Amino acid sequence: MGEVSDDNSNMSFLKRIATSDVPLLKEYGVNGVVIALLLAVVTPVLLSMMFGKKTKQRAVRADVGGEEGFAMRNSRFSSLVEVPWEGATTMAALFEMASKKYSRRRCLGMRKLIKREFVESSDGRKFEKLHLGEYEWDTYAEAFNRACNFASGLIKMGHDLDSHAAIFSDTRAEWIIAAQGCFRQNLTVVTIYASLGEDALVHSLNETQVSTLICDSNQLKKIPAISSKLQSLKHIIYIEDEPVEAETLNQVKHLTTLSFTEVEELGKTSHVDARLPSSSDTAVIMYVYKRSTDLPKGVMITHGNIVATTAAVMTIVPNLGMNDVYLAYLPLAHVFELAAETVMLASGTAIGYGSALTMTDTSNKIKKGTKGDVSVLNPTLMISVPAILDRIRDAVFKKVGEKGGLAKKLFDFAYKRNLAAIEGSWFGSWAPERMIWDNIIYKPIRAMLGGRVRFVLCGGAPLSSDTQRFMNICLGVPVGQGYGLTETCAGAAFTEWDDTSVGRVGPPLPCCYVKLVSWEEGGYRISDSPMPRGEVVVVGHSITKGYFNNEAKTNEVYKVDERGIRWFYTGDIGQFHPDGCLEIIDRKKDIVKLQHGEYVSLGKVESALATSNYVENIMVYADPFHNYCVALVVPAHQALEKWAQNSGINYKGFEELCQNDQAIKEVQQSLSKAAKVGRLEKFEVPAKIVLLPEPWTPESGLVTAALKLKREQIKTKFKDDLDKLYH
Ligand SMILES: *[C@@H]1O[C@H](CO)[C@@H](O)[C@H](O)[C@H]1NC(C)=O
Ligand SMILES: *[C@@H]1O[C@H](CO)[C@@H](O)[C@H](O)[C@H]1NC(C)=O
């Protein structure tokens, strides 16, 4: 990446000098220009000779068997890592050992609630506002004790050892304590997103025959309405994060119901011996949606899976340890957060709990004038999903834009200089200069996240390069991008902290091998040049057991090779860069087989067609019952209007222009040209198109916050248009 932008900036600098008007020549004389030209050419060459980074080889070929493919492993480890340290083979063992190792260090922290109030907005709606105080901490030894008590209490309460327990709660200390309590009795924990709909909730609890449900006060309210459908449910343990209404408890009185504290107390007074699990036992059945239309599927994650991912991630974050403070706020029912918190527990790091709604001083639920989670916690580590980082970026840019004037000019200038520095361009700021920018411009921005964040792990979806650079520059932190699925227990690939490139997800984590397998029909082959391409397949200690109670689906995506080793087929299409870093370039399900058997990769076609000047947004659609594809196009206003003016088209508004046959033809011709440049096959070029006047924004729900198309939503909204295109 660095080299490419180098060339670009040289080019534009030279172009500027070459095309600049006469005053420059007058001022400096022709010699001056020649010297400047020479300097412009020579300086970057010299600089890159002095500082040029040799590309680090981050992954190397691996010989791992299975289906033929292009396999890579992390170059730092010749064999796969399996455990963080000897003996830490299960979540229970890891936590017990950590609690001895770090016994008096801070472990789990929750903010004290000082006051809860409701304010009324002008339109009469009520909003909850919280005044939260300092963090109150359990040390490692205390947290471990609570988990032991919870485990004993759970059994004393009558939980049947052959059945499952489920956790249905926001992210908080009790979540980890309850989970660790279950692990100490070799109980499998079923996890469910707190935001899941009722049907999905009933389905997951019923499918796994859960007998004990551990929930927070908000989720408890949902139970009375569905408890008649939950035949296996016998016990409820509720966390009193908010006062629980007697009425709610009354409605579930046919079940044994205790508060979390009562269960801990019960366990404290009557100890039950631990029944520790082994590495291959299922620790968690994590319910995830594979497709928005299906019911969620339960991924069976073993203890060995989680500790392997943990061990691998611990090798990625530099100097991870007891001096770190981690802000926990993403759902623990997501494998990404569960793995991250396990990494923190294994490292002796303090985990402070917060939430997206109370994170900063200006967050929705924070009472005006009081402090958000980051200002009190001052975390050094965070994990995030792209949408949240995008939001932070937009907020900062908006604020700067509102200030305007000199402040904005200075911000823009410093941003450009620092961006150039990261990308290794000659225009880059130098170190002492960066200190000045840091102090006058970026310090206040950094304060938004508490001022001490030193590493952000980002996963869940692809992070845009703009946002990654924003984080690098304005927050001064490296962003590690992860790639993985629940089925690979989060871990598959991860960018290393010293890799400043964008758009890639790094080399395979040291707990697994990543292989590309040719997908002939889709046109992705490991023999492709310049890089091998194919479906991403993962094997290693982090590969989960499969879907609970769903052998058919399991056999579809987990394939066992001749040695009995399980490979997980991700359905994502990737390519390996020469340094061994993986880049995700497509999704198999975005590839459609036409009537005559040709495959259309929607993403590939869209990115080729998007190079047309007229395209602001485009979605290609292929109906498998026809032999051609079509496209919905949101045209670029200015470009199309300019063309209309020049061509003397009469139209009232942009909407009418989008209906104009000539305009449609013009855009279609431009798409054909783009297709030719992109070397698309004839059947890949949309045979018919519609022009849509309204832009697609995240607010409209048609694209994600990272501006990726939401195909299903777009398809539904423009169903009539699509139908017309096929008739
Ligand atoms: C619960 O699961 C059983 C099978 O285990 C099934 O027969 C029943 O219909 C399910 N109930 C609901 C409400 O999903
Ligand atoms: C843990 O529980 C599972 C399921 O009940 C059982 O198969 C396994 O043998 C148990 N593990 C140990 C170490 O007892």
pLDDT, residue 394, reads 79
CB neighbourhood size of 547 (10 A) = 23
On the CB side of 588, CA atoms within 13 Å amount to 19
Nearest atom in ligand 2 to 162's CA: 5
Distance 207 CA to ligand 1 centre (A): 7
pLDDT, residue 687, reads 94
Q: How far apart are CA 83 and CA 98, in angstroms?
A: 13
Residue intervals of the chain classified under CATH 3.30.300.30 are 594-725
Pocket test for ligand 1, best of 204, 206, 210, 550 (most atoms within 8 A of CB): 206
Q: For residue 303, which ligand has an atom nearest its CA?
A: 2
| Residues constituting the chain | 727
Distance 188 CA to ligand 2 centre (A): 10
Comparing CA positions, the residue from 173, 218, 176 lying closest to residue 196 is 218
User: Distance from CA of residue 370 to its chain's centroid?
Assistant: 30
Measured from the CB, is residue 357 less than 6 Å from ligand 1?
A: no
Reading the block at residue 172, the tokens are 């908080």
Q: How far is CA 183 from CA 189, 209, 308, 423, 424, in A?
A: 8, 18, 17, 46, 49
**For 235-367, where are the alpha helices, taking DSSP H only?**
246-251, 260-269, 303-314, 335-347
Reading the block at residue 479, the tokens are 């962003």
Reading the block at residue 311, the tokens are 């061990």
Q: How far is CA 533 from CA 60, 188, 459, 463, 573, in A?
A: 16, 38, 22, 21, 7
Q: How far apart are CA 361 and CA 402, in angstroms?
A: 20
DSSP state for residue 137 in the 8-state scheme: E
- CATH architecture, domain 594-725: 2-Layer Sandwich (3.30)
Q: How far apart are CA 366 and CA 129, in angstroms?
A: 5
Distance 151 CA to ligand 1 centre (A): 29
Measured from the CB, is residue 12 less than 6 Å from ligand 2?
A: no
Residue intervals of the chain classified under CATH 3.40.50.12780 are 91-277
pLDDT, residue 491, reads 82
Ranges of the chain whose pLDDT falls below 70 = 1-54, 195, 290-294, 704-706
260 and 240 Cβ atoms separated by less than 8 Å:
yes
pLDDT, residue 34, reads 52
CB neighbourhood size of 109 (10 A) = 21
Tell which phi-psi region holds residue 580, choosing left (phi > 0), alpha (psi between -120 and 50) or beta: left
Reading the block at residue 308, the tokens are 């392997």
Which tens digits make up the pLDDT trace of 431-465?
Answer: 788 888 888 888 888 888 888 999 998 887 777 78
pLDDT, residue 705, reads 60
Q: Which residues pair with 109 in a beta bridge?
A: 137, 352
Measured from the CB, is residue 206 less than 6 Å from ligand 1?
A: yes
**What letters, b where the CB count within 10 A reaches 16 and e where it falls short, cover 23-61?**
eeeeeeeeeebeeeeeebeeebeeebeeeeeeeeebbee
CB neighbourhood size of 399 (10 A) = 15
Q: How far apart are CA 340 and CA 211, in angstroms?
A: 28
Measured from the CB, is residue 550 less than 6 Å from ligand 1?
A: no
Distance 605 CA to ligand 2 centre (A): 50
Q: Which residues pair with 326 in a beta bridge?
A: 351, 381
- Superfamily name and number for 91-277: ANL, N-terminal domain (3.40.50.12780)
Q: How far apart are CA 516 and CA 716, in angstroms?
A: 33
Q: How far apart are CA 105 and CA 93, in angstroms?
A: 18
Q: Tell me whether the omega of the peptide bond preceding residue 530 falls within 30 degrees of 0, making it cis.
A: yes
